[in-house]
Structure 1
Amino acid sequence: MRSDDWHLTEDVNDFLTRAGAFLRSQPTQHTMALTATEKLRTRQADTDGVVFGRLEAGGEIRAIFYGSPSRALNVTSLTPEQADALAAQLVALGHSHSSVTADHSTATAFAEVWRRHTGATPTLRTRLHLYRLGTLTPPARAPVGRGRLAGRQDHELLMRWCQEFAEDVGQTVSIDAASWAGTRFADKSYTFWETPDGTPVSMAGLNPMVAGQVRVDPVYTPPHLRGCGYAGAVTVEVSRAALAAGSTDVVLFTDAANPTSNALYQGIGYLPITDWAVYGFAYART
């Protein structure tokens, strides 16, 4: 595998023209890339510095990546040989990525070759399970209350809960009115589960539909309200909404280390598809 089999561009529209069909061919497996590149396409100004790459062999696209040279790298499934060729090309271009996110075997292979090419120390940050909705099965004993779409009047609460969610999963982000539009939590629709008196107790977000797939993200319940079934109830609400909107693939990620959330989603009809991983890179000081 030659590194020059990878074709790079900073033009998201050109990239999607060439690689869009490949991404749409497996919408569940490519959920992260589909959602992220569509967001970058619609925002345009936010693509500054983001590099997109496609691996071509035999006249067909085999894989893609995207990411800023000094920030996170996201890749679709690669063999160890393909990962090595990609790492070699990115190093030659002066990239110093802070992390890699991919399916578990790809992320692990890339982390090893990146260590070999750069000397960076990889650390497994997060293991994720990717789920796809099978038959939606509401809980037999749902909590009392109802789902409600979030509106403008809920913006302060949404920002606060998204900030708390980010802190829960170990993400470093500061969310306020000025920064909201540039975060990964913007450009989604949100639904609350609220008690009969109208008090929100849990929320779930839906990313825009791309290639028939919709990803549920985030799902958050404040700590003092957990264990009451609110997260399951609001996830059922947004899953039902995604199906009603015509989605053929409703997916979500969970922390592999959290047995509660994994049991919850399986209990309402989500089926495990594959494991993902995020590796962070630490570079020696010079």
Structure 2
Amino acid sequence: MTDRSTWTFTAAAETFAAAAEGWLLRDPVRNTAALTVLRSLRSGQFSENPLMGWFTEGGSVEGAMIHTAPYPLLLAVPLAAIPSLVSELIALGRSLSGVNGPVEQAEAFARAWWEPERGRRSDRLYRLGTPVPPSVPGAARTAVAADMPRAVQWIREFEVEADVEVSADPTPVVAARINRNELVWWEDGGRPVALACVSTPIAGMSRVGPVYTPPEFRGRGYGSAVTYAVTRKALDEGAAEVLLFADLANPRSNSIYQALGYEPVADYARISFR
């Protein structure tokens, strides 16, 4: 790196967007997480002291990061920018529960951070190729405000099962997703049996997740059905790319997504410090 390599930080989403959104939009597939979090920040969804930063080299933006506590630090940066980012965050006294990003970047950050790694989750990013509809009884229904209690309960159950180590109340996020028509049920016999969310398109990109089927309804294809339903919804709303992350420790979900037409793009890691 040269002397002209710098990090700039802000708590203002619009300031960050003015500087870094254009760079993130160059690759909306690999920057899907940062772009969807940025949209939530711009809508005022997060309120716990957010921190956003962009890395400039030779006068142009070459990377970005977003931290919305209690969630892990989100990386979209080149490897060469990791040491300076770690130094800057330590100087700022920033407390991190973990780091999330492409495997190489996440591991490089964890090695340089002052707290030891306590655990990790390995994910694979998939993008939709040719969609393959499953044959499953039932039908999709977009969630409405009256569905809030059940939706919050199921999202909490998903977070516990997926080992999402955050203390945030999911209610505001669930409410926002219902308001944006992003949460869909799969119903069989008039009762909800699976749930999935999908982001409204950003630069032609939508991302599926979370997907959850309660234990008592598993083994009947409902997860496949609701995943395909939100995939079809994203395509119908204009998405050119439909993406999702899958836990590599769950081979069943990975096989399900591939059977629906999703193809691997890259591997990511969420590394916990506490």
Same fold (TM over 0.5): yes
**Which segment is superposed worse, 56-65 or 259-268?**
56-65
Query: 2:137 aligned with 1:144, yes or no?
Result: yes
Residues 223-234 of structure 1 aligned to structure 2 (within 5 Å): 223-234=215-226
For residues 70-112 of structure 1, the C-alpha deviation after alignment (integer angstroms, 9 at most, x for no partner) is: 8621111321x31111101111122231200011110001100
Query: Alpha-carbon deviation of 1:24?
Result: 0.9
Q: Which AA in structure 2 matches 1:15? A: F
- The answer on 1:121 being equivalent to 2:113 is no
Q: Relative to 1, partners in 2 of residues 1:215 and 1:172: Cα closer, same or farther, differing over 3 Å?
A: same
Match of 2:126 among 100, 111, 131: 131
| Aligned: 1:180 with 2:175 | no
What letter is aligned with 1:208?
Answer: T
1:162-191 CA deviation, whole Å, 9 max, x = no partner?
A: 111111111245787xx611x4x4422211
2:11 aligned with 1:19 = no
Contact map agreement 1:52 1:66 (CA 8 A) in 2? yes
Contact 2:4 2:58 in 1 (8 A): no
Q: Is residue 137–residue 268 contact of structure 1 (8 Å, CA) maintained in 2?
A: yes
Q: Distance in 2 between matches of 1:11 and 1:199?
A: 42
Q: What's 2:9 paired with?
A: 8
The separation in 1 between residues aligned to 2:78 and 2:236, in whole angstroms, is 34
CA distance 1:68–1:4, change in 2 (3 Å): farther
Match of 1:55 in 2: 55
**Match runs of 1:248-267 below 5 Å:** 248-267=240-259
Alignment match, 2:85: 86
Q: CA deviation at 1:47?
A: 4.3
Question: Normalized against structure 1, the TM-score is what?
Answer: 0.88
Q: How does 1:38-77 map to 2 (within 5 A)?
A: 38-43=39-44, 46-47=46-47, 49-68=49-68, 72-77=72-77
Conserved in 2, the CA contact under 8 Å of 1:161 and 1:220? yes
Do the aligned partners of 2:5 and 2:57 also contact (CA within 8 Å) in 1?
no
How far apart are the structure 2 equivalents of 1:254 and 1:71?
Answer: 18
After superposing on structure 2, the runs of 4+ consecutive aligned residues of structure 1 that deviate more than 4 Å are 68-71, 172-176
CA 133–71 in structure 1, closer or farther in 2 if over 3 Å, else same: closer
Specify the SS of the correspondent of 2:273: strand
Distance between the aligned counterparts of 1:278 and 1:151, measured in 2? Answer: 32
Deviations along 1:17-40, whole A, 9 cap, x unmatched?
111111111111001000001101
- SS where residue 121 of structure 1 aligns? coil
CA apart distance, 1:192: 1.2
Distance 1:70 1:160 in 2: 20
Q: Structure 2: any 5+ residue segments left out of the alignment?
A: none
What is the alpha-carbon distance in structure 2 between the residues aligned to residue 64 and residue 273 of structure 1?
A: 20
Q: Is the 8 A contact 1:71 1:96 kept in 2?
A: no
Q: Following superposition of structure 1 onto structure 2, how do residues 96-245 of structure 1 map, counting pairs within 5 Å? A: 96-114=95-113, 118=114, 120-139=115-134, 142-172=135-165, 180-181=171-172, 183=173, 185-188=174-177, 189-195=182-188, 197-245=189-237
Number of aligned residue pairs: give it: 269
Q: What TM-score results when the alignment is normalised by the length of structure 2?
A: 0.92
CA 205–57 in structure 1, closer or farther in 2 if over 3 Å, else same: same
Task: Give 1:208 deviation, angstroms.
Answer: 2.7
CA distance in 2, matches of 1:101, 1:172: 13
Q: Deviations over 1:186-222 (max 9, x none)?
A: 4222111111x21111111112322221111111101
**Cα 1:129–1:199 shift into 2, 3 Å:** same
Where does structure 1 lack aligned partners over 5 or more consecutive residues?
Answer: none
Partners of 1:128 and 1:256 within 8 A in 2: yes
